[in-house]
């Protein structure tokens, strides 16, 4: 089987690389960092995004009837990968939440949200986690009470990344107060400007000192979001009332497919290879150590397995297939590889692995130290690996839930 890109795809990659070389400046990088910190988009970043939109690169694989290009998922992946590698800029899909609208939205919702998402006029943050339930998403308590043709929302979300910039929140709330666990949950698409919504920053460990560009999970800020009698029209409901768990799972599976999740897992391995092949302090001595060479070769092999799992997921999506367990498998394999790679790199670098951005002797601006700080975050974001393994067991292998007997 040939896993190589076609000549047309490689031509697209060269086109994107040339654009990045010409347009990604130090001003763009500074404004990206400011935007992540909640300071809004600067003029250089705004113009750059307008140019990217004009080229149609934000939604290559989306259907033409909703403003997309009707292209392949591989082409979208190539564009996303190049921008992420160059400046850690997410290009494609209009932000988390949009894939769920494609999968579960009405035609009216798709026409309302998707064209503006492709032009970056709409972006979503994910309103999932809550203070008392952590990664146990089925235990959430945020309520949306139906009152005629509207919902009234009360509750709190936590660790809501990008809430300071997003125009909308993809909110999972309990619409049946008598329900338990996954039952009785619904998804609402709520504008962040709705009265009664309060966003409060939570500064992360990556904020001081600020993590360098291309650090994995380097967001300097996440957020708490409070809902106090927030009234929204019933038309904000995505999918059927009470089916929010399935709507969310479909959306998350699609949102996991792509270059961002893949690179979040394997870029640490690429970083250590680049360091060992360079002329930085201690690189020559370490690359001559057979133990280091064996360990890095093992990590590189694992990274290629992660790449193939991502390609498989994109192939399933391109064929219109349904994810049974493949997205969960990718979510387990990638983050666990990232953790193993971080641990191994820390052993290879020794004390240098602890020097953060700004330290006089930091290796590659301290990226390895900052990666260490964010390593285990990947095992809980978008669903913990323990939950993902349960999905693989039940959906992929047909095993019963714990405590239940088959048949």
CATH number of the structural domain spanning residue 354? 1.20.140.10
Does residue 237 sit in the same domain as residue 261? no
Domain boundary residue, one of 47, 76, 92? 92
Does residue 130 sit in the same domain as residue 57? no
- Residue 99 within any structural domain of the chain: no
Does residue 348 sit in the same domain as residue 261? yes
Query: How far apart, in whole angstroms, are the C-alpha atoms of residue 352 and residue 86?
Result: 25
Taking the complete model, does pTM exceed 0.75, yes or no? yes
Does residue 283 sit in the same domain as residue 341? yes
Does residue 291 sit in the same domain as residue 372? yes
- Residue 331 within any structural domain of the chain: yes
Does residue 280 sit in the same domain as residue 386? yes
Q: Is 264:217 a contact under the CB 8 Å cutoff?
A: yes
- Residue 250 within any structural domain of the chain: no
- Residue 110 within any structural domain of the chain: no
Write the CATH number for 168. 2.40.110.10
Does residue 296 sit in the same domain as residue 224? no
Q: How far is CA 138 from CA 134, 180, 226, 228, in A?
A: 10, 8, 19, 22
Domain boundary residue, one of 243, 266, 289? 243
Q: Which domain holds residue 231?
A: 124-243
Beta-strand relationship, 197-203 and 168-174: unpaired
Does residue 236 sit in the same domain as residue 283? no
Does residue 184 sit in the same domain as residue 209? yes
Does residue 131 sit in the same domain as residue 209? yes
Does residue 288 sit in the same domain as residue 388? yes
Q: pLDDT tens-digit profile of 303-350?
A: 998 888 888 877 777 777 676 677 778 778 888 898 899 999 999 999
List the chain pLDDT tens, one digit each, 407 residues.
566 788 999 999 999 999 999 999 988 888 888 877 667 788 998 899 889 888 888 888 888 888 788 888 888 889 988 998 888 888 865 455 677 888 888 989 998 888 888 878 888 998 888 888 766 777 788 999 999 999 999 999 999 988 998 999 999 999 988 787 878 999 999 999 999 999 999 998 888 888 887 788 878 889 999 999 999 999 999 988 988 888 887 776 666 666 777 788 888 899 899 999 988 888 899 999 999 999 999 999 999 988 888 888 777 777 776 766 777 787 788 888 988 999 999 999 998 889 999 888 888 888 999 988 887 777 777 667 787 888 888 878 888 877 655 55
Q: Is 38:203 a contact under the CB 8 Å cutoff?
A: no
Query: How far apart, in whole angstroms, are the C-alpha atoms of residue 153 and residue 131?
Result: 17
- Residue 115 within any structural domain of the chain: no
Domain boundary residue, one of 75, 92, 109? 92
- Residue 84 within any structural domain of the chain: yes
- Residue 251 within any structural domain of the chain: no
- Beta-carbon count within 10 A of 176 CB: 16
Write the CATH number for 31. 1.10.540.10
Domain count along the chain: 3
- Residue 105 within any structural domain of the chain: no
For the CA atoms of 106, 111, 117, 123, what is the dihedral angle to 10 degrees?
-40
Does residue 84 sit in the same domain as residue 23? yes
């Amino acid at each position: 089987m040939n896993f190589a890109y076609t000549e047309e795809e490689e031509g697209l990659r060269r086109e994107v690389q040339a654009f990045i070389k010409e347009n990604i400046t130090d001003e763009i990088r500074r404004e990206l960092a400011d935007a992540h910190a909640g300071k809004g988009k600067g003029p250089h970043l705004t113009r750059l995004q307008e140019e990217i939109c004009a080229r149609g690169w934000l939604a290559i694989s989306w259907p033409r009837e909703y403003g997309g290009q009707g292209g392949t998922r591989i082409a979208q992946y190539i564009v996303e990968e190049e921008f992420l590698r160059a400046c850690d800029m997410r290009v494609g899909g209009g932000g988390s939440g949009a894939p769920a609208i494609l999968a579960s939205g009405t035609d009216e919702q798709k026409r309302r949200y998707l064209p503006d998402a492709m032009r970056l006029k709409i972006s979503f943050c994910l309103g999932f986690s809550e203070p008392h339930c952590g990664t146990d998403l089925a235990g959430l308590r945020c309520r949306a009470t139906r009152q005629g043709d509207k919902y009234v929302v009360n509750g709190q979300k936590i660790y809501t990344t990008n809430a300071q910039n997003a125009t909308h929140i993809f909110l999972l709330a309990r619409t049946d107060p008598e329900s338990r666990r996954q039952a009785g949950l619904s998804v609402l698409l709520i504008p962040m400007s709705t009265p009664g919504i309060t966003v409060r920053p939570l500064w992360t460990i990556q904020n001081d000192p600020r993590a360098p560009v291309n650090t994995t999970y380097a967001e300097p800020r996440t957020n708490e979001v409070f809902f106090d009698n927030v009234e929204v029209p019933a038309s904000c409901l995505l999918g059927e009332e009470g089916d929010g768990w399935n709507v969310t799972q479909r959306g998350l599976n699609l949102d996991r497919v792509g270059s961002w999740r893949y690179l979040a897992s394997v870029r640490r391995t690429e970083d250590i290879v680049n360091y060992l092949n360079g002329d930085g302090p201690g690189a020559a001595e370490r690359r001559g150590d057979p133990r280091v060479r064996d360990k890095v070769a093992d990590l590189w092999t694992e990274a290629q397995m992660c790449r193939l799992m991502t390609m498989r997921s994109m192939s399933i999506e391109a064929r219109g297939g349904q994810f049974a367990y493949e997205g969960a498998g990718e979510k387990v394999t990638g983050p666990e590889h990232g953790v193993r790679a971080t641990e191994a790199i820390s052993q290879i670098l020794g004390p240098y692995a602890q020097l953060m951005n700004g330290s006089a002797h930091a290796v590659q601006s301290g990226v390895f130290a900052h990666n260490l700080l964010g390593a285990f975050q990947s095992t809980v974001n978008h669903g913990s690996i323990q939950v993902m393994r349960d999905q693989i067991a039940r959906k992929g292998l047909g095993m019963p839930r714990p405590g239940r007997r088959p048949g």
